[in-house]
Structure 1
Amino acid sequence: MTNRTILVVLALVVFTAGCATRYPLGIPEEQWVSLSLEEQIRAREAQAALDQAQAERRAAEARAREAQAAREQAELEMRRREARYGERVQCVLTSAEGRLGGRWRPLEPLAVDLVQGMEMPFQLMTTADGGRYRGQGHAYFDGTTVSLCSVRGQHDRDPGACARLLGTFEDYRRGLRSEVSSERFIRGQLRCHLGPGAGVSPRRN
């Protein structure tokens, strides 16, 4: 048998397997054909009930995620309103690239409004390929360092994997700009300055 013939046979096997009829509850074909009509009806009803329960569970999980996101957003907005001057930074990432779809791709400009001690999710969107490549990251400000990380909590567990900008109160008050990068997530020019807050009035240069 030639290599070409072997490849054709393998392709037919894969195609046939992909097109094979699937019976309710994962019942094998040889067992399915031996069932009575009433048993087949009961099996279909049981499969429909399982599918419905799975759909309801997925919907409930989605609602729970949405509710959690809404709570976190409300808490973040409250913290922004209550933040003292120096506890809030506003940053913009430009000339950026993100690691999406297995390679570096140019990104839309990204803006984050951070409150010290609170993690904030953000979205990545490419400017090329029709914007079809997207991703998510998490930003965090600890009072001196702004971290842009690929996963939640990474600023604490593996800070070296995040793109980071380090500065003092005065640096952020005047406005801080620097090239930042992480090996396999994001890179670009990050510009940050202190956002509005209570307690201390910003000084003029």
Structure 2
Amino acid sequence: MKSIGYTPDCGTCNYLILSLSKIDQFGEAMEVLKGMGRAGCVPDCDSYGGLIAELSEARKVDAAAEVVREMVCKEGVRLREETVAKVVGAMRGNREAGRAAEMVEMLEGEGVGVGFGVYEGVLEGCLEEKRFVLAGKVAAAMCGRGFIRARQRVVEGLVGVGEVEHAAVARRRFAEMSS
């Protein structure tokens, strides 16, 4: 493009990234994303978000998680909540609730606000996979955020795997928040 004197703007690059992603050319889309700085425009949350959403839809969660990590940790760009929800949904679909919980924890650690719906998706994934201890930890993190529909399943699951002490703590926390 430079050879003909054309300098693309962010919108053009984002369109190119999304178009390449839609036809499963994720490697090429990553190259466009990485080359945006050389083209004179800075990648934004739409640049990363479009690629992450398409990777999630294709259930390529390893690549999606890596792009999320690069976007947040290296570039300092903030994700939209719906993008995080798509990655968590793909991880849940692949039965990788543990990775989803790790990603949410990483995002929180980096100061990215993660919505209640995302936490709920991680919690449901943990319960589906019968990872009740992890579900208890996720539920504990959710306590200050609102109503937890799956609270009884969390407590019963913890009791079922012999974590009676954790179940009692979880039940007490749920009672304190009046959910």
Q: TM-score surpassing 0.5?
A: no
Structure 1 or 2: more helix by fraction:
2
**Greater RCO (Cα-Cα under 8 Å, separation 6 or more):** 1
> TM range, normalised to the smaller chain?
under 0.3
Structure 1 or 2: more strand by fraction:
1
Bigger Rg, which one:
1
